[in-house]
Amino acid sequence: MHEMSLADGVLQVIEDNAKINGYSRVRKVWLEIGELAGVEVEAMRFCFDSVVKGTLADGARLEIIVTQGEGHCFGCGKTVPIQLRYDPCPLCGGYPVEPTGGLEMRVKELEVE
């Protein structure tokens, strides 16, 4: 979903951070993307490469760390791994499983110069 806007958000985070930490070039960007965040990783790479053209992150490598989806089952009360939002509980088959982990969309770390 809307990877272009997200890529633009990544660039804004980087540009703001560059002012605080005083760097002029970004070589590598680590993103943490949750399995349940609804982000298409390949689309994100494509959009990132085009959004950063002509900026301080032009040509930067994008590393995406995917975090596992996790949810709380209202049926059995357990925390269970889920790959898709609103999948039934793998233990009891119940609904709903409220997502509790794997929702991240975060700029984690940068390699800069």
Partner 1 sequence: MCITCGCGQGETKIEGEAHHHPHSYVHAHEHGSLVQSRPHAHTSRMVQVEQDILAKNNQYASANRSHFAEHGIFALNLVSSPGSGKTALLTRTIERLKDKARIAVIEGDQQTSLDADRIRATGVSAVQINTGKGCHLDAHMVGHAVEKLALADDSLLLIENVGNLVCPAAFDLGEAHKVAILSVTEGEDKPLKYPDMFAAAEVMLLNKVDLLPYLNFNVPLCIEYARRINPYIRVILTSAVSGEGMDEWREWIAAGMRQAAEQKTNEVEALKRRVAELEAALKNVRGEG
- Residues in CB range of 59: below 8 A, 6 or more apart: 52
CB of 94 to partner 1, least distance (A): 10
The span from the CA of 51 to the CA of 8, in Å, is 6
The span from the CA of 38 to the CA of 56, in Å, is 27
* Among 34, 35, 51, 60, interactor with partner 1 by CB under 8 A: 51
Query: Hunting for tokens 């760097």 — which residue is that?
Result: 23
CB of 96 to partner 1, least distance (A): 6
Residue 63 in contact with partner 1, rule: CB under 8 A:
no
Residues lying near partner 1 in the complex (CB under 8 A) are found at 1-2, 4-6, 8-19, 21-25, 27, 31, 38, 51, 55-56, 74, 85-86, 95-96, 105-113
